[in-house]
Structure 1
């Protein structure tokens, strides 16, 4: 079977494994987080090999060059051959990862922020001690 000359954007994003479902891809395209050749895109936009796609997922932005088209979703190694990430995008992503390593988001770790119920009990237990606990009994 010969690969198609063009393919819908939402179908390509799904087959290249950027999104788990086509409906998620359509939703992200609708929110304006996907651009094709520096222009706003619609899910039905036809893409061809050689097109540039900018994808924003959370705080991360990727720019990829379309190398191939596939109408069906395959294994990850095959999906990675459908595109090539630009060197600028790789450098920006590496810089973002490094900045997150050096200055993580406050409250990102489990030990930061509000204590859990179990942590709170441990704090109360160590602060007052079991023997000094208030009791309604008369001794």
Structure 2
């Protein structure tokens, strides 16, 4: 997968390594401060190279990874996992967070039915979206 390139844009690498579904989402995550390169906030156009350490936050949690390989294309998940190596502490922290979410889901009460039109109007009024 790696060519002769020694560096590439971080948003493109995050997309190719399947941390984000689209390159636009990867760029937005960089803009929102969810991606750190060697401890500093990373802008989407910042170059990433082999050996860089990244902290990436997405829906699955916080990943502490090291760039192992560069790729311009988005391949299958098995190939994308070869682009980085994740620290053991990061894996354990995400597993712990997932277990906590599962336990909390047991105590979460879901509504018995969809909100009625009246309920929706009351919610909109409460949220300040009254027409």
TM-score for both structures, normalised by structure 2:
0.78
Q: Deviations over 1:100-126 (max 9, x none)?
A: 23333754xxxx332115xxxxxxxxx
Q: Which residue of 1 aligns with 2:98?
A: 97
Q: Which residue of 2 aligns with 1:36?
A: 37
CA distance in 1 between counterparts of 2:4 and 2:62 reads: 28
CA distance in 1 between counterparts of 2:99 and 2:30 reads: 28
Q: Secondary structure at the match of 2:105?
A: coil
CA distance in 1 between counterparts of 2:6 and 2:85 reads: 18
User: 5+ residue gaps in structure 2?
Assistant: 115-131
Q: CA RMSD in A?
A: 1.8
CA distance in 2 between counterparts of 1:55 and 1:105 reads: 28
Structure 1, 36-45 or 96-105: larger mean CA deviation: 96-105
User: 5+ residue gaps in structure 1?
Assistant: 118-139
Q: Which has the larger radius of gyration?
A: 1
CA distance in 2 between counterparts of 1:15 and 1:80 reads: 10
CA distance in 1 between counterparts of 2:76 and 2:111 reads: 41
1:78 aligns with 2:108: no
Q: Which residue of 2 aligns with 1:116?
A: 113
Q: Which residue of 2 aligns with 1:25?
A: 26
TM-score for both structures, normalised by structure 1:
0.74
The answer on whether the counterparts of 2:60 and 2:94 sit within 8 Å (CA) in structure 1 is no
User: How many pairs does the alignment contain?
Assistant: 113
The answer on whether the counterparts of 2:66 and 2:84 sit within 8 Å (CA) in structure 1 is yes
Quickly say closer, same or farther: Cα 1:99–1:26, change in 2 above 3 A: same
